[in-house]
Chain A
Amino acid sequence: MTKSEIVAAVYERVGGFSKKEAADIVELVFETVKETLGRGEKIKISGFGNFVLRDKRQRRGRNPQTGEPLTITERRVLTFKPSQILKSELNPHEDGAEGMDGHADRDSGVDLAAAAPSSHSSPAVVPARSGRNDASHARR
Chain B
Amino acid sequence: MTKSELIDAVAARGELTKARAELVVSCVFDSMIEAMKAGEGIEIRGFGSISVRPYRPYAGRNPRTGQPVDVPAKRLPFFKVGKELRELVNSSRHLAITGDDDDTPRSSKRNGDKR
Total chain B interface residues with beta-carbon distance under 8 A = 72
For the complex, give the distance between the alpha carbons of A129 and B64 in Å.
29
Among A33-59, those with CB < 8 Å from B are 33-34, 36-51, 53, 55
- A43-B1, A79-B79, A137-B115 known; A37-B32 Cβ under 8 A: no
**Nearest B residue to A81 by beta-carbon distance?**
B102
- A1-B32, A1-B41, A32-B9 known; A90-B76 Cβ under 8 A: yes
Total chain A interface residues with beta-carbon distance under 8 A = 70
Among B69-106, those with CB < 8 Å from A are 69, 71-72, 74-79, 81, 85-86, 88-93, 95-100, 102
Q: For the complex, is A122 an interface residue (Cβ under 8 Å from B)?
A: no
Between-chain CB contacts (< 8 Å), 27 pairs: A1-B31, A1-B35, A1-B40, A6-B31, A6-B32, A26-B28, A29-B28, A32-B6, A33-B1, A34-B46, A34-B85, A37-B88, A37-B89, A39-B92, A40-B95, A46-B2, A48-B29, A53-B92, A53-B97, A78-B89, A86-B36, A94-B72, A94-B74, A108-B62, A108-B69, A108-B71, A132-B113
